[in-house]
Structure 1
Amino acid sequence: MKKSYCPIDTFINTIKGKRKGTIILHLFQGDKRYSELVRLMPDISERMISKQLKELEKDSLIHRQVFPEVPPRVEYSLTKLGKDIHPVLKGMYKGGLLFENSIESVD
């Protein structure tokens, strides 16, 4: 996470990326395994999901727990910071719906 001139830019730069907000919203519903996240987002590649998860972990928004099993089991969960930004993302989701509805009305 890199600090910007404006806190809004810092926030946007941290969560921008292919489906980072969606990943956080899914994890707010409960811990998820990698395969569950892949099933929940079939329109993006596994490589991209993996990249976004690594970035979210680096920015301390999610926690990755590896269980010492064969085969290894990995679960992702939100950190306190990840949970704290949920209301903002939920507001952005609602705002997105407003924009989508206005776009559909124009067509």
Structure 2
Amino acid sequence: MIKIDEKEFHCPVELTLDIINDKSKIFIVYILLGGQKRFKDICEAFPQITQKTVTQKLKELEASHIIERTVFAEVPPRVEYALSPIGRELEKVLGSMHAFGEAYAAKYGCKKEH
């Protein structure tokens, strides 16, 4: 049994799924694998996600210690988001998901027309 912030988890997989529990969070982590990004860059990378959703998911990922938010003392203020050291560990998970997606698409996906 794992207990974190009054929540109990039966195994590490359940804990991981609780942290990255939707595709918007996974997309954000994926884009941050390329390095620090500003809010606008994240929104532009995945236009299917609304700005409201991006804002909410960034807050959740920050609360889970997956990303770090840096505010620069400039006018206008500049804010950048990056993966934390523990957030970087998700690169292995997403790499496996990427490889699975490629294999699945190769076997069951549509063939491209030339």
Which structure dedicates a bigger proportion of its chain to strand? 2
8 A contact 1:15–1:21 mirrored in 2: yes
Q: 1 or 2, which has the higher helix percentage?
A: 1
RMSD: 1.7
Distance 1:3 1:28, change over 3 A: farther
Relative contact order, higher structure (CA 8 A, sep 6+):
1
Gap runs ≥5 in structure 2:
none
Work out the number of aligned pairs and report it: 105
Gapped regions of structure 1 (runs ≥ 5) = none
Deviates more, 1:73-82 or 1:20-29: 20-29
- Residue 31 of structure 2 corresponds to 26
Aligned partner of 1:87 in structure 2 is: 92
* Structure 1 residue 50, shift from structure 2 partner: 0.6
- TM-score of the two chains, using structure 1 as the length reference: 0.87
The letter for the 2-side match of 1:89 is L
1:3, CA displacement in angstroms?
Answer: 4.3
The answer as to whether partners of 1:20 and 1:52 remain within 8 angstroms in 2 is yes
| TM-score for both structures, normalised by structure 2 | 0.82
Percent identity at matched positions? 34
> Quick one: which of 94, 97, 100 aligns to 2:102?
97
Q: What is the DSSP-based 3-state SS (H/G/I as helix, E as strand, rest coil) of the residue aligned with 1:43? A: coil
